[in-house]
Amino acid sequence: MSADRNPKPGRPGSSRRQFLLGGAAAGLGAAVAVGADLALNRTDPPAVAPLNGAQTVAFHGPHQAGVAVPPQAHTTLIGLDLTDGVDRDALRRMMRIITDDAVRLTAGEGALADMEPELAVVPARLTITVGFGPGFVARAGGVAPGWLRPLPPFGIDRLEPQWSHGDLLLQLASDDPITLAHATRMLLKDSRSFTRVRWTQTGFRRAHGSEPDGVTMRNLFGQVDGTVNSAPGTADFDDLVWVTEGWLAGGTSLVIRRIRMDLDRWDRLDRSGREQSVGRRLDTGAPLTGSAERDEPDFTATTPIGFPVIPEFSHLRRARSDDRRERIVRRGWNYDEAPTGSAISDSGLLFLSYQADVDRQFVPLQRRLDELDLLNEWTTPIGSAVFAIVPGCAPGGYLGETLLG
């Protein structure tokens, strides 16, 4: 895999203004030069590229922004359980406060009652995304979509309750980890009287500016991870992701799988074996039958002695369905936590999958991988949760209003 282009250097100071000013002053006099100066000041692009820290992602809209935004460098996902006695009215109050916090923090402003507003002024593309688990919908007295329940069990699962389920999901993501920590704490302070934290999962991708935008990330196996993925803004993405009916219209479903990687075991696999397990080259991410990352794999290609070039047990082959509707949109983050015992690593992948219907789009895929996927030798799902990602809201509204209003 190679980058399409080198990162752009910072723009040099604009010389346009000096050039035109010099010519105008010489030809037409000082007054015109001043006018030209004023005109150029209004339209002159900044001499230095704006800092990424100042970048914001619009909060309001038909969809929550965190689903389609180009993934940020850091994420924190928090699964919360509602405390006893939290009724529909309390849920409404909580969601109003959470929404107000999210509106302000994503705009680069401190929240109301924010003790550290200075930590909010570098939003760095902060998004805050909310999902409801089945318990939340039941507490609200609503009707949950059929897929809003724990996934069916898979043979490869070694799920731990501490990493699974939850009534309420808060997902925060930003290119700046300080911003992320502050926003996380602010939201937890405001949900504390309604919930308790069930689990916290943090993940990371490339730091902003390490690679050009759009470069597919690598997971901690070293693999290019996420090549085949419908692009946000396309009709295909919209069809795959957004729910179109009921109170969840404009929302989607999110499956969160915590995938532990056995890096010690992976160490014992040579490069060729690694490429066979996935079906892609490690250097470019190209399928074994191709030369560029985005080449279409040719599953019919065979070696001289008749074996498929892309093994039938490879992850790439097993993940591919003939039914185009059985597709998901993936967003992954790596995790790397403090090891315990004598281990030197506790690493893996936060596998996030968005789809309009979990049963129709995600489960068949997961079942195929469960039945056969060589990569299973080195990965183990240890956490699983399904949430209804609620629709976006307009200014003055609040997340969850279509269920709670």
Partner 1 sequence: MNSTTISRLTVIAAAALLLAGCAAPAPDAGVALEADSVTISDAWVKSAQEGMSAAFGVLTNDGDTDVTIVSASTEASPMIELHETVENDSGEMVMQQKEGGFVVPAGGTLALEPGGNHIMLMGLAAPIMAGDEVTFVLTFSDGSTLEFTAPGKDFSGANENYEGDMDMDMGSNG
Could you list the active site residues? 225
Q: Nearest 5°: phi and psi at 219?
A: -90, 180
Interaction between residue 97 and partner 1 (CB under 8 A): yes
Q: Which is nearer to partner 1, 37 or 109 (CB)?
A: 109
Q: Of these, 14, 25, 36, 96, which contacts partner 1 (CB under 8 A)?
A: 96
Phi, then psi, of 368 in degrees rounded to 5:
-60, -45
Distance (Å, whole) CA 93 – CA 186: 16
CA distances from 217 to 86, 211, 214 (A): 40, 9, 9
Q: Give, in order, the Cα–Cα distances in Å from 295 to each of 139, 143, 158, 207.
A: 48, 43, 34, 27
356 binds partner 1 (CB under 8 A): no
271 is a site residue for partner 1 (CB under 8 A): no
| 144 touches 99 (CB < 8 A) | no
Beta-ladder partners of 218:
224
- Segment lying near partner 1 (by CB under 8 A), choices 110-118, 200-208, 271-279, 340-348: 110-118
Site for partner 1 in 73-92 (CB under 8 A): 90, 92
CB of 195 to partner 1, least distance (A): 12
CB atoms within 10 A of CB 132: 30
State in angstroms the smallest separation of the CB of 392 from partner 1.
Answer: 20
* From candidates 3, 28, 47, 115, binder to partner 1 by CB under 8 A: 115
> Minimum distance between the CB of residue 105 and partner 1, rounded to whole angstroms?
13
d(CA 226, CA 232): 14
Stretch that binds partner 1, among 94-102, 215-223, 346-354, 370-378 (CB under 8 A): 94-102
Report the distance separating Cα 28 and Cα 269, nearest Å: 75
Nearer to partner 1, 100 or 357 (CB): 100
With CB under 8 A as the rule, give the number of residues binding partner 1: 16
Residues 226, 224: Cα–Cα separation, whole Å: 7
94 makes contact with partner 1 (CB under 8 A): yes
The count of other CB atoms within 10 Å of the CB of residue 246 is 13
Q: How far, rounded to the nearest angstrom, does the alpha carbon of residue 270 sit from its chain's CA centroid?
A: 31
CB of 393 to partner 1, least distance (A): 15
Write out the two tokens for 46: 């900044």
Backbone angles phi, psi at 264, to 5 degrees: -65, -40
* Consecutive H or E run containing 197: strand 195-204
What is the spatial distance between Cα 201 and Cα 157, in angstroms, rounded to a whole number?
A: 18
- Which residue matches tokens 């015992």? 341
Between 192 and 265, CB nearer to partner 1: 192
Considering beta carbons, is residue 48 or 113 the nearer one to partner 1? 113
Binding of residue 100 to partner 1 (CB under 8 A): yes
Site string for partner 1, 181-200 (x = CB under 8 A): --------xx-xxx------
Cβ nearer to partner 1, comparing 110 with 381: 110
Q: Which two tokens stand for residue 144?
A: 């949950």
Distance CA 331, CA 77 (A): 13
Instruction: Tell me if 384 sits within 8 A of 151, measured CB to CB.
Output: yes
Select 185 or 206, whichever has its Cβ closest to partner 1. 185
CB of 174 to partner 1, least distance (A): 22
Give the x/- contact pattern for partner 1 in 145-184, rule: CB under 8 A. ----------------------------------------
190/275 with CB nearer partner 1: 190
Query: Is 368 an interacting residue with respect to partner 1 (CB under 8 A)?
Result: no
Q: Does 112 bind partner 1 (CB under 8 A)?
A: yes
- Looking at 96-104, 239-247, 268-276, 304-312, which segment touches partner 1 (CB under 8 A)? 96-104
What are the residues binding partner 1 (CB under 8 A)?
90, 92-97, 100, 112-113, 115, 189-190, 192-194
